[in-house]
Amino acid sequence: MRMLRNEELAEKERINDALLELSNRMVKVRDRKDLLHVINSGLRKAINFTACVMTILDEVHQTYNAFLTDPESKSRDYAAYNEAISTPYPVGDGIYDVAARSEEPVLFDMRNFDVENAPVWFKLHYAAGAREMLIKALPGEDVRRHSLILFSDETGTFDDCAVHIIERIASQLSTAASNITANEEILNRESEKSFLLDFSQNIAAVRTKPDLEAAISDALEHLLSTRLAMIRVIEDDGVTLTPYLWDISLFAGVMDMFDQLANRRATVDEYFFAQVLASKEPIVIDIAEEERKGNSPNYIAFWKRLGLKNVYAAALRVGQENLGTMFFLSDNLNLNLLKGLCAQISIAISNIRANEKILAYKQLLEIENDQLKEQIRTIYNFSEIVGSGPEMQEVYHLMSLVADSASTVLLLGETGTGKELIARAIHSASPRRDKLMIKVNCAALPASLIESELFGHEKGAFTGAVERRIGKFELADQSTLFLDEIGEMPLEAQVKLLRVLQEKELERIGGKTTIKVDVRIIAATNRNLEEEVRAGRFRSDLYYRLNVFPIVLPPLRNRRDDIVPLTHFFVDRYNKTSGRKVTGFSPRVIQELQAYPWPGNVRELEHLVERSVLLSEDAIIREIHLPKLRPEEKMPVAPLSRTLSEVERTYIIEVLRQFQGKISGMDGAAEFLDIPATTLHSKIKKLKISKADYF
């Protein structure tokens, strides 16, 4: 008897020592691994269990999950191990709830259970040999979050003494487990925060939709192991939800349903969208539950085909304003993180959309601005066209009358008077300006080719037609066709041209189908077409068709006031292209230019200026080489219509212009003219020359 008491005492002492050691070691526990080690080595000294597990209740107290599992447990060798430790179990499974309700540890004789229908973890341990288990729901601050489960292969292992030991270490174990969990949660929050910080940095750099897509899919896949199903944005009407971004790869197998759902008009008041938009937090849609309630059957059917149990959704929101919705396909997401992500995505999308609007607005302004500039340039100013005298004013007036319409224009005038220049200006001022004006030089082509040039031909239409060719008429569809030197067009081609102008359709040579075209014609000639008609070289019907809106360009000799400005214009142009710095022409040269009759008109003047600029060694060109004129080209030196004082006035203005208005002193206009400065002053006054004339 005494012996027994001694043995008992010794046993008690051993257990006390074991508990003391356990409790000392428990204080130092930092993580799950430490805790497992303490239980496995320390607790085993006091209780002879074969395996241990700890579980934890989820945040919403719906399921319990593995918290600690013993990597050396025999159950590891069984196929169901991974499933057993990764499955959340419902709290009302008949084992957990029994243990959780009890203050004391609960002993289960595993042989009494219907193993077939027991939870996976139970089956697993049973298969590994366990026959008895002891569960202690550990006391927690507000709820018993953690539980300790000990297994033994032998029944009777968990006697009163074992129960007593568990009771004694329960609160310490609970504290250790709670600390670990709290620590882990802090760490998780920290890593969530740092992730969100990284994400926010990534997303701050996002300017376009594709960038955003990349940033989102990266974040979702790495952190939440999910992908974005669909982001929809609320349109300006405040009702329509338009698809904005989605991951098409998710829907490969269900494209038919996806197309149907994405293409129909969704609105903010539809069941799921309304729920998402009304909720401050991301929501979890339990598909089975919603199906039972009969909500939005088409979405439910779609999600079910994707094999999902849950869908997560959140509102895109900046401040109080809803911008749209986001849906994620996943069975299990970290809601906190999702919320953080959605907040950032919302800001990014709102910025991108604002940016897009600004860009669109900017583009619109640019287009308008271009159009305005174009209008100013062509209709009111025609800045490439020099000439301010009444003859050219009349030309501009006619141009601005006709430009906007699709009317045929006939440009008449001697060679080099600027007919092509005017044709281009009319096209640029017309609504067809966005397309290229197509030009055909009717004089440059042999009669045999002109038809093919104008109307095109099919492959093999005639010898040499190795490829199909699109004619200029077709090319000019929706644009302008400039028929230069129309007077030179062979009669045969004139017939065909007339047909196209009448029918507004053509056939390629060798072709069988007719092609409709919408072409605006501007024709030009330096011939007198009426005379050509009389001589039978030009068809009268074609002439009447072309002569709808004739514009006659005056020869240069009839607008001598334009000679000086044109000279300056070309000097500037060739200075730019040749890098020279010619400032102008000497008064004598100007005089010669004005006296010359310019049979080649502006083109001739242009070539002359080009030559002179290239040959000049001085800033002022003092000599030019005008061609010797045939007697019939000769003209009086000054046109009789001009008075002496008019000639004098033009001349003084030109000199003042060259000397930038400097009258007296070295390099002054008076010295150049070889008259006293006072005389020049009084002439300026008398001839009513103002600064505006030479600046």
Ligand X SMILES: Nc1ncnc2c1ncn2[C@@H]1O[C@H](COP(=O)(O)OP(=O)(O)OP(=O)(O)O)[C@@H](O)[C@H]1O
Q: How far apart are CA 295 and CA 283, in angstroms?
A: 15
Nearer to ligand X by C-beta: 49 or 482? 482
**CA 526, chain centre distance (Å):** 51
Composition of the chain by helix, strand, coil, percent to 5: 55, 15, 30
Q: CB of residue 559 vs ligand X: minimum separation in angstroms?
A: 9
Q: CB of residue 398 vs ligand X: minimum separation in angstroms?
A: 14
Q: How far apart are CA 56 and CA 58, in angstroms?
A: 6
Whether residue 161 contacts residue 172, with contact meaning beta carbons closer than 8 Å, is answered with no
Q: CB of residue 553 vs ligand X: minimum separation in angstroms?
A: 7
Nearer to ligand X by C-beta: 413 or 471? 413
Strands, E assignment, 454-597: 456-457, 469-470, 480-484, 505-507, 514-516, 520-525, 550-552, 584-585
Angle subtended at Cα 147 by Cα 142 and Cα 151, rounded to the nearest 5 degrees? 165
Nearer to ligand X by C-beta: 73 or 417? 417
User: In terms of Cα–Cα distance, which of 236, 298, 292 is closest to 271?
Assistant: 298
Listed in sequence order, the residues at least 6 apart from 299 whose beta carbon sits closer than 8 Å to its beta carbon are: 261, 272
Q: CB of residue 386 vs ligand X: minimum separation in angstroms?
A: 4
* Residue 655 CB-half CA count within 13 A: 23
Closest-approach residue to ligand X (CB): 418
Nearer to ligand X by C-beta: 453 or 606? 606
Q: CB of residue 473 vs ligand X: minimum separation in angstroms?
A: 20
Nearer to ligand X by C-beta: 418 or 456? 418
HEC per residue, 144-172:
CCEEEEEEECCCCCCCHHHHHHHHHHHHH
Nearer to ligand X by C-beta: 266 or 476? 476
What is the edge-to-edge ordering of all strands in the sheet holding 227-234? 266-267, 240-246, 227-234, 321-329, 310-318, 283-286
Nearer to ligand X by C-beta: 228 or 483? 483
Site of interaction with ligand X (CB under 6 A): 385-387, 413, 415-421, 484, 524, 526, 569, 602-603, 606
Q: CB of residue 603 vs ligand X: minimum separation in angstroms?
A: 4
Q: How far apart are CA 653 and CA 687, in angstroms?
A: 10
Q: CB of residue 439 vs ligand X: minimum separation in angstroms?
A: 10
Nearer to ligand X by C-beta: 74 or 527? 527
Nearer to ligand X by C-beta: 419 or 560? 419
Q: CB of residue 393 vs ligand X: minimum separation in angstroms?
A: 12
φ, ψ dihedrals at 267, nearest 5°: -130, 160
Identify any residues that bridge with 227 across adjacent strands, giving them in sequence order: 329
The number of beta carbons lying within 10 Å of the beta carbon of residue 675 is 13
The dihedral over CA atoms of 79, 83, 85, 87, expressed in degrees to the nearest 10, equals -160
Nearer to ligand X by C-beta: 85 or 392? 392
What does the DSSP 8-state code read for residue 613? H
Nearer to ligand X by C-beta: 123 or 439? 439
Q: How far apart are CA 452 and CA 508, in angstroms?
A: 8
Q: CB of residue 679 vs ligand X: minimum separation in angstroms?
A: 35
Q: CB of residue 418 vs ligand X: minimum separation in angstroms?
A: 3
Residue type, 319: G
Angle subtended at Cα 559 by Cα 555 and Cα 561, rounded to the nearest 5 degrees? 150
Q: Coil, strand or helix: which one is 495?
A: helix
Q: CB of residue 467 vs ligand X: minimum separation in angstroms?
A: 30
Q: How far apart are CA 558 and CA 1, in angstroms?
A: 148
Nearer to ligand X by C-beta: 569 or 694? 569
Q: CB of residue 563 vs ligand X: minimum separation in angstroms?
A: 11
